[in-house]
């Protein structure tokens, strides 16, 4: 799952480091959450710290491509 945290931070005039400070966690931990497979609770905490709904930090799938939550590879859906 890809999150748009960096993009939302940029819109809000925040750095990821400042966001980590707001969340009272290390920047490395936040980066792992952003680039990994975060829990719903973690995503909610990030969204709350940014002052946006959780849907604003979720990246929309592009066309028929989705990202595997385990390996991060793109999965393409084809209707036959």
DSSP of 23-56, one letter per residue? Answer: HTS-HHHHHHHHHS---HHHHHHHHHHHTS-GGG
CATH number at 72 reads 1.10.260.40
Name the more confident of 20 and 1.
Answer: 20
Number of domains within the chain: 1
Q: Is the pLDDT of residue 64 over 70?
A: no
Residue range 33-62, pLDDT digits in tens = 888 888 889 999 999 999 999 989 987 655
Of all residues in the chain, the percent with pLDDT exceeding 90 is 49
The pLDDT confidence band at residue 67, using thresholds 50, 70 and 90, is: low
Name the more confident of 74 and 32.
Answer: 32
Structural domain containing residue 40? 5-76
């Amino acid at each position: 799952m890809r999150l748009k945290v960096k993009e939302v931070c940029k819109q809000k005039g925040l750095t990821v480091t400042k966001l980590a400070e707001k969340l009272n966690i290390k920047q490395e931990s936040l980066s792992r959450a952003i680039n990994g497979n975060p829990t719903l609770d973690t995503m909610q905490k990030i969204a709350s710290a940014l002052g946006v709904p959780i849907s604003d930090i979720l990246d929309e799938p592009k066309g028929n491509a989705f990202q595997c939550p385990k390996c991060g590879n793109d999965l393409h859906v084809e209707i036959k």
